[in-house]
Structure 1
Amino acid sequence: MAEKKGLLLGRYEVGRLLGHGNFAKVYHAKNPTTKEEFAIKVLDKEKIFKSGLVGHVKREIAILRRVRHPNIVKLFEVMATKSKIYFVMEFARGGELFNKVAKGRLQEDVARKYFQQLISAVAFCHARGVFHRDIKPENLLLDENGDLKVSDFGLSTVADQIRHDGRSHTFCGTPAYLAPEVLAQKGYDAAKADIWSCGIVLFLLMAGYLPFQDRSLIILYRKIFKGDFRCPKWFSSGLISLLRRMLVTVPERRITIPEIMGKKWFKKDFRQIKFYPEDDEFHSSDDIDSPKAIDDESHSSSSSEPSIPSTIKTSASSPSLLGSQKYGLGMRRPPSLNAFDIISFSPGFDLSGLFEEKEEETRFMTAASVSQIVSKLEEVASLVSFTVRTKDCRVSLEGTKEGEKGPLRVAAEIFEITPSLVVVELKKNAGDKMEYEDFCRKVLKPGLQDLIYNPSASEENISSDSK
């Protein structure tokens, strides 16, 4: 008897249901050719529009593209039809960390390893202006090696969306893990609220139960506001000391992430991971039925939930001769930009090609080929004795000067907008912010000026050619 195959979604074979919520279902999937496994999150477009959650979905995509870390679930691709949106994500074979805790408390060394990986991921997010706001064991997954993966950034926020008072004002999260200042609904520091939630998770891993719990929400909230909890007798003194600094009801007195990482209890057997986020791949598919995806207002109005389509028609053409000439033989074509990627850039992104600078981020448009861009970046790097690493359409420039935060490292990534235009995005991946700004002003901008696309010059060339 022939093996029953799952439904096809582009190049993915969709299988069993892994879980579901109010607006999404998650399925196991694999690539039949490469045998790679994935998790596909399927969102109902109609429900999203009716619930006014379009902004939340856009933000989640933008955030997942920003936070590429070994302990954060990767988003590989975003696709859409007229009725559905699909997130193709990393498959965490080990399931939820919650399932481990449900069987009983963990040994200290095991709990410490998970906590170290959680703090490492949260520190990475905070450094990039991303705040999770729903940290709990159900949102912490485990891969086949038993390593932790933070997931579900649906309630997350970013620094540029926080009000002028520097505080978040959205009441969100899971009751038992909420910080007292979130419950107060008077504005809160999202980073401090994440630290409180991490403290609750750590207590749960070690105790097997929550520090604050009650069947009545009102009584539970009173306990959280009071912040009075007891540690079991098997907790070590170092662990108790750390928890009492994390679960402080006054956020200004709460321990910071650098202080957590400096604690003796935390540092035991801790291995700092050195990695290059630009090595990861992200694709947003624009060769599907609805290239505008979320912004497509022609979503299905049917009240019944459409099933996963057996196929999705694609219109991607094979690489042309123009492509091989533009990108160079043996060089991969840059990933295309569609609505999702442009959304993940700053609002009001100016497509006139002007050199745009933001905090720790720079981008510009150019008509140059990938090989020309890479050569120019190598030339700029040589002026300041930076080392260069190149992989496909990504370039990493790394300095040798050891600053307070280590050597400066700048990642450049090239995206295609049209066959003749690309966007070059540069980000500070490591090092001092002031050093990066100085490097951009004195070296990067002058060195790349010749590459920047000038629409008026192009129009002049067209006019002169037509004469």
Structure 2
Amino acid sequence: MATAGAGAGVVKEKANASGEGRTSFVEGWEFMQTLGEGAYGEVKLAVCKESGDCVAVKIVTVDGGKEGLTHESLRKEVCILKMLRHTNVIKFFGQRTQGSTYYLLLEYADGGELFDRIEPDLGMEPGLAHHFFLQLLNGVEYLHSRGVAHRDIKPENILLDGVDTVKISDFGLSTVFRHMGKERKLSRRCGTPPYIAPEVHAGLDYSAEPADIWSCGIVLVAMLAGELPWDAPTSGCAEYCEWCAQNFFFPPWTKISNEPLALLKKVLRHAPSKRYTMDQIKSHVWSRKTYAVVDQVAEEGVSPTSSRHGRHSSRLVIDSSPRYADRDNSDIPSSLPVGREGVDGGGGGEVGVAVESFTQPSRYDELVISTQVPCTPGATETPVQRLTLRLTRFYTASPCQKVWTRLQQVMKKFSYDVRISPDKVSLVVSTTDKRSQPLVFKASIYGLRSDLLLVDFRRSSGDGIEFKKIFKKVRDQCQDIIVKPP
């Protein structure tokens, strides 16, 4: 991992062989690919050409027309990041500014986002959820000890490193609620509706710690059940009213075992004063439970010690509980790339070996490096492309034009709004999820070789679990053109 010194200097533009703009991030460092994007900017992977070290660079341009994004809010985020240094919090190495553009240098979490490990409607192994939840609690407890409230805890803002260590990220909505021993109530109504506490949603003055703890509880529900319990914790939401009436006999609660459900009943109490504290959560019988780690296995085709950074890189395998194992899992999970080993690339197949790949590339040396080119009708070949290994993708041997046509037909069938991206290499798809919240993603086609294409889907905004459900629907409509990769 690079040090803060890697960020010294300014961002320079230089042209590649084809004349297209390519960004060199200070001397010897280069932007290789986009890791994520949002309403106000994007996160790019910066790689040291000599050592292969990586940092994630959050690039945000302040635009006076964008509500809520100001120089002051970015400076506040930087000040908070500078305060923090913990195993379960993303590291901050430094920042640079160029006019109205800010470059925040952050630790590169090579395991992707937590939501990538959550299978829609299924969740994950309870032991793995237990592992991630306790780390999340440790990170949030540290934030609170520093007087910092996160205020937007959700799976998309929880990253993982190569050995499944939780890294809390995205402090754009964070604030300091305690300074010099003096604590203040918060009033800003912010966060993501399904995850925020009822007092925050109601617009009341609220205490920071119970509000963050509530969000941690919702993350636990998502991990254990693969779905969110409600649109928002309000009196107008039937699911939330049933919860408050102690009716737990419908999903997602029927998917959750007794011990974690008993804990959630204490964490998701409507009144903040009656909500479990960190100490009480950690003392609960489920929190103190020990799950057996069956193995730690490397990514497919990569030995545990083959990381370019020389560190062990692997994924946890936790002993399955009968309740989880008995769930209906006959369909291909959307988090498994169709066609990978153990998954039939034809029309539906059975799950064999569970193969993980991630929203962010797992390691620098695992980036797919080949002559991949954006594949659009009439597109010309570009220099070597670096494409992240992703969960939401599939392979096809069909002609590019046929794939583009099929994708547009499928999007039209589901009444999604589709437009060509400004760079003319992607389809930008806009829709709403089941909670009527905006959801935007991109579909891009890359040429792997003359007879094989990769169709890659990237979420731009919206709930990650809902995005994976939509990807699965689109993929199912394309089963007849999906093939196994080499």
**TM-score, structure 1 as length reference:** 0.53
Cα distance in 1 between the residues matched to 2:67 and 2:200: 27
Structure 2 counterpart SS, 1:34: coil
Q: Which residue of 2 aligns with 1:83?
A: 100
Task: Indicate yes or no: 2:202 matched with 1:184.
Answer: yes
Q: Which residue of 2 aligns with 1:127?
A: 145
Q: Which residue of 1 aligns with 2:385?
A: none
Q: Return closer, same or farther for 1:99/1:229 CA change in 2, 3 Å cut-off.
A: farther
Q: Return closer, same or farther for 1:141/1:116 CA change in 2, 3 Å cut-off.
A: same
Question: Does the Cα contact within 8 Å between 1:116 and 1:270 map onto a contact in 2?
Answer: no
Question: Does the Cα contact within 8 Å between 1:42 and 1:86 map onto a contact in 2?
Answer: yes
Q: Return closer, same or farther for 1:222/1:270 CA change in 2, 3 Å cut-off.
A: closer
**One-letter code of the match for 2:113?**
E
Cα distance in 1 between the residues matched to 2:234 and 2:198: 16
**One-letter code of the match for 1:140?**
I
Task: Indicate yes or no: 2:239 matched with 1:240.
Answer: no
Q: Name structure 1 gaps, 5 residues minimum.
A: 272-467
Cα distance in 1 between the residues matched to 2:264 and 2:56: 34
Cα distance in 1 between the residues matched to 2:93 and 2:245: 40
Q: Return closer, same or farther for 1:268/1:186 CA change in 2, 3 Å cut-off.
A: same
- Pairwise CA distance, 1:214: 7.8
Q: Which residue of 2 aligns with 1:67?
A: 84
**One-letter code of the match for 2:194?**
A
- Pairwise CA distance, 1:63: 1.2
Cα distance in 2 between the residues matched to 1:191 and 1:260: 13
Task: Indicate yes or no: 2:278 matched with 1:257.
Answer: yes
Structure 2 counterpart SS, 1:86: strand
Question: Does the Cα contact within 8 Å between 1:179 and 1:224 map onto a contact in 2?
Answer: no
- Pairwise CA distance, 1:223: 4.1
Q: Which residue of 2 aligns with 1:18?
A: 35
164, 174, 189: which one aligns with 2:192: 174
Structure 1 counterpart SS, 2:118: helix
Listed one character per residue, the Cα deviations across residues 265-306 of structure 1 (whole Å, up to 9, x for unaligned) are 1123499xxxxxxxxxxxxxxxxxxxxxxxxxxxxxxxxxxx
Q: Return closer, same or farther for 1:29/1:35 CA change in 2, 3 Å cut-off.
A: same
Cα distance in 2 between the residues matched to 1:161 and 1:23: 29
- Pairwise CA distance, 1:229: 5.8
Cα distance in 2 between the residues matched to 1:38 and 1:112: 29
- Percent of residue pairs identical: 34
Structure 2 counterpart SS, 1:95: coil
Question: Does the Cα contact within 8 Å between 1:129 and 1:159 map onto a contact in 2?
Answer: yes
Which structure has the bigger radius of gyration? 1
Task: Indicate yes or no: 2:50 matched with 1:29.
Answer: no
Q: Which residue of 2 aligns with 1:114?
A: 132
Q: Return closer, same or farther for 1:247/1:70 CA change in 2, 3 Å cut-off.
A: same
Q: Which residue of 2 aligns with 1:389?
A: none
Q: Which residue of 2 aligns with 1:286?
A: none
The 5 A counterparts of 1:412-423 are none
- Pairwise CA distance, 1:236: 2.9
Question: Does the Cα contact within 8 Å between 2:198 and 2:234 map onto a contact in 1?
Answer: no
- Pairwise CA distance, 1:89: 0.8
Cα distance in 2 between the residues matched to 1:193 and 1:134: 10
Q: Which residue of 2 aligns with 1:9?
A: 25
Q: Which residue of 2 aligns with 1:334?
A: none
Cα distance in 2 between the residues matched to 1:122 and 1:194: 8
Deviates more, 1:73-82 or 1:107-116: 73-82
Cα distance in 2 between the residues matched to 1:157 and 1:225: 30
- Pairwise CA distance, 1:136: 0.5
Q: Name structure 2 gaps, 5 residues minimum.
A: 1-15, 293-486
Listed one character per residue, the Cα deviations across residues 27-79 of structure 1 (whole Å, up to 9, x for unaligned) are 11111222111111111134489855222211111111112111111111201
Q: Return closer, same or farther for 1:226/1:147 CA change in 2, 3 Å cut-off.
A: same
**One-letter code of the match for 2:61?**
D
RMSD: 3.3
What is the number of equivalent residue pairs in this alignment? 271
Q: Return closer, same or farther for 1:51/1:168 CA change in 2, 3 Å cut-off.
A: closer
**TM-score, structure 2 as length reference:** 0.51
Cα distance in 2 between the residues matched to 1:169 and 1:221: 26
Cα distance in 1 between the residues matched to 2:264 and 2:281: 10
The 5 A counterparts of 1:53-452 are 53-103=70-120, 104-160=122-178, 166-213=184-231, 218-219=236-237, 223=241, 226=244, 230=248, 232-269=253-290
Structure 2 counterpart SS, 1:69: coil
Structure 2 counterpart SS, 1:248: coil
Cα distance in 2 between the residues matched to 1:58 and 1:69: 21
Cα distance in 1 between the residues matched to 2:130 and 2:186: 30
Q: Return closer, same or farther for 1:254/1:224 CA change in 2, 3 Å cut-off.
A: farther
Q: Which has the higher strand share?
A: 2
Question: Does the Cα contact within 8 Å between 1:125 and 1:131 map onto a contact in 2?
Answer: yes
**One-letter code of the match for 2:33?**
R
Cα distance in 2 between the residues matched to 1:125 and 1:15: 32
Structure 2 counterpart SS, 1:267: coil
Question: Does the Cα contact within 8 Å between 2:127 and 2:291 map onto a contact in 1?
Answer: no
